[in-house]
Amino acid sequence: MTEIRKLDLAWLGLVALSVIGATLGGRPDTGFGVTVLVALVMGLKVRIVCDRFLELPTARRGIRLAMHGFCYGMPVLVILTSAFGDTLARLTGALI
């Protein structure tokens, strides 16, 4: 498979994942499982953009690590805030 074909497939995959994400947003139920699913879709989309569009696999280690830290940190924070929101509110009580 050529690099161009991989790029086109990546775009199609991103469009499909966006539609899935929008479908999740239209659901009335708000369970923890849906939050995890939303975070996973977010992480997957960001990973595809990093690897295929931004070409991070070829980048220097420092750039790769910093971008991966940001990109994977966000879905993790989404899940943690959903699971331990009370604790975060208690810890940051003085800020609000």
Partner 1 sequence: MRFRSSLQVPPVSYAATLPDASTATGRIPGNKAMWVGIFCEVTEFALMFAVYFIARAHHPEVFRAGPERLSLLAGTGYTLMLLTSGWCVARALHAMRAGRQKACLRWLLGAFVFGLGYPVIKLFEVRWNLANGLDGDAGVFIVTYYYLTFNHLIHVFWGLLGMIWVMLRTGTGSYSADEHSGLEAFACYWHATDIIWLMIFPLFYVLR
For residue 19, what are its two tokens? 């539609």
Site string for partner 1, 1-40 (x = CB under 8 A): --xx--xx-xx--xx--xx-xx-xxx---x---xx--xx-
Which 8-state DSSP code applies to residue 26?
T
Q: Is 60 in the site for partner 1 (CB under 8 A)?
A: yes
Out of 61, 72, 76, 83, which residue is the one contacting partner 1 (CB under 8 A)?
Answer: 61
Nearest C-alpha neighbor of 35 from the set 70, 68, 84: 84
The sign of the torsion formed by the CA atoms of 40, 42, 45, 51 equals: negative
Q: Find the radius of gyration of the CA atoms of the chain.
A: 17
Is 77 among the residues that bind partner 1 (CB under 8 A)? yes
For residue 40, the Cα-to-chain-centroid distance in whole angstroms is: 6
Q: Is 86 in the site for partner 1 (CB under 8 A)?
A: yes
Q: Which residues bind partner 1 (CB under 8 A)?
A: 3-4, 7-8, 10-11, 14-15, 18-19, 21-22, 24-26, 30, 34-35, 38-39, 41-42, 45-46, 49-55, 57-61, 63-64, 66-67, 70-71, 74, 77-78, 81, 85-86, 88-89, 92, 95-96
